[in-house]
Structure 1
């Protein structure tokens, strides 16, 4: 058991009762420091932004780069109150927006449903805000953390409210599909690069990128609808936007479905580019013969 992990978790528990403006101010300063000090990661962010927004002036991309580090720090520190503050605090700081019928379908529907939750920095807040308001069985897929104590802290935090069943990636697809066919809800984050073997290459901002076709696959196998969920950091906490169901999805063509997912995701990102997870090497895996972009 790591002493560092114990201290870190204790520190986060201590932050749970700090006023939000103070915590966000701390995150702002920490984010600015990270942008200056974490040079390798800043280069990844800057490269991602140059690939996806070649038409934006360099000074505008730099502003987005600085802001994304601030959101990294703020959203991480916010896990203190998301996972440890009283329920009423979490509920007050997570606001749901969207058409009432769409929100009701997510929270109280009985048909299989996949929430397409792209990697915006508020994704943990959105998951918590949804599950604390819904009695539905909810499944989420996670990757094991290297430190067992941190892994336990994350799993417990994400399953704090509601009927949440976290599944590890190594558990396979059977429990996911079974939960969906039973009328469950899957909170899915498929916009990542998990290597060539698990991916298809489809455009993302016009550049071929390795993308897992799990949204199309799970939707088809689980006979599930797809509703996008966008999480947005705000001064008051988080806004959880429920968008309308995707019609005519999935098709019999998983590659075409995944390309459509990336196309729509790019549109969501355009509306709030600083809040997307640019710290990930999204273009790490390249098509055969293509040079590295990093």
Structure 2
């Protein structure tokens, strides 16, 4: 059954990969509108996240942002098949503007490695493709629930030689080795971490479980860290690659201080283009023991 499911999904990805950017974004907006219009889980989670994380918004402002966020997420979903199925050169041609690339050269001066944080903001698949076309790069990933899909995912994401490493002990050792060699490690920093490598730190004012991996890699390898995202431009005009400094503190030996600094860096980027952040993800579900689960108020963490 799982193989049938894989072939069905792979077939749909290939069909969607035949769309133009404008066509994919148009369908994505429709999908997002339907998710917003119907009583879906994604709509509920987005409502909760924006109510907690951006309390300064008025009710009309928050309602408008919920709707636009779901439309933007719909566009991201329909853009992924393009990033996976289009020729690499065609994908890279979608990058119309760049900002802050000089920060990367500065961070890697003297052969230092670089940890590149890429939160779920804009089109992170394109950001990964863009940087793997320029640098020796490895990216951390979690295996999909469908084993047959893993080989496909590794193949399409590694088309430019980017190395995908699992988030296990062997994978983390490989990531550290690449950083010591002066390479680039791409990490999605705003996922709820598994295992023991975490600390509770504020994210938009709420204490949530946050990965300590970044600070540990910095301490072990001496690597620098920057944050990046691919901003979606209006009217299917393409994307803008943005690179930002993270500010101090990410390599602090105190895990709470380090994760707090990382979450602040993510927040600053999200506030620049809040509609393009994946608010549909239950980022706030893992809280300190005894606290209420915001997505299920009857449950205590």
Work out whether the TM-score is over 0.5: yes
Distance (whole Å) between structure 1 residues aligned to residue 96 and residue 159 of structure 2: 18
In structure 2, the partner of 1:26 is 27
Does 6-15 or 284-293 show the bigger shift?
6-15
Deviation at 1:241, TM superposition (A): 0.6
Does 276-285 or 58-67 show the bigger shift?
58-67
In structure 2, the partner of 1:293 is 294
C-alpha RMSD of matched pairs (Å): 2.3
Distance (whole Å) between structure 2 residues aligned to residue 109 and residue 238 of structure 1: 30
Distance 1:76 1:38, change over 3 A: farther
Structure 2 gap segments, 5+ residues each: 296-301
Deviation at 1:114, TM superposition (A): 0.5
Distance (whole Å) between structure 2 residues aligned to residue 284 and residue 266 of structure 1: 17
Task: Give CA-to-partner distance per residue, 1:101-144, whole Å, 9 cap, x none.
Answer: 22545799842110011121411110011112x1x321111111
- Asked if the contact 1:283–1:293 (Cα under 8 Å) also holds between the matched residues in 2, the reply is yes
Task: Give CA-to-partner distance per residue, 1:147-184, whole Å, 9 cap, x none.
Answer: 123222222221122x2111111244212111111111
Task: Give CA-to-partner distance per residue, 1:187-237, whole Å, 9 cap, x none.
Answer: 011222225843211111111111111221111112101111122122323
Distance (whole Å) between structure 1 residues aligned to residue 239 and residue 148 of structure 2: 27
Deviation at 1:56, TM superposition (A): 0.8
- Provide runs of 4+ in structure 1 moved above 6 Å: 106-109
- Asked if 1:92 corresponds to 2:93, the answer is yes
In structure 1, the partner of 2:164 is 166
Q: What are the equivalent positions in structure 2 for 1:54-203 lying under 5 Å apart?
A: 54-95=55-96, 97-104=98-105, 110-132=111-133, 134=134, 136-161=135-160, 163-172=161-170, 173-194=172-193, 197-203=196-202
Distance (whole Å) between structure 2 residues aligned to residue 34 and residue 107 of structure 1: 42
- The SS at the match of 1:82 is helix
- Asked if the contact 1:126–1:238 (Cα under 8 Å) also holds between the matched residues in 2, the reply is no
Deviation at 1:96, TM superposition (A): 5.0
- The SS at the match of 1:278 is coil
Distance 1:38 1:141, change over 3 A: farther
In structure 2, the partner of 1:231 is 230
In structure 1, the partner of 2:9 is 8
Distance (whole Å) between structure 1 residues aligned to residue 146 and residue 112 of structure 2: 37
- The SS at the match of 2:77 is helix
- Asked if the contact 1:45–1:279 (Cα under 8 Å) also holds between the matched residues in 2, the reply is yes
Deviation at 1:27, TM superposition (A): 0.9
- Asked if the contact 1:6–1:149 (Cα under 8 Å) also holds between the matched residues in 2, the reply is no
Deviation at 1:90, TM superposition (A): 0.9
Distance (whole Å) between structure 1 residues aligned to residue 41 and residue 246 of structure 2: 39
- Asked if 1:268 corresponds to 2:272, the answer is no
- The SS at the match of 1:54 is coil
TM-score when normalising by structure 2: 0.88
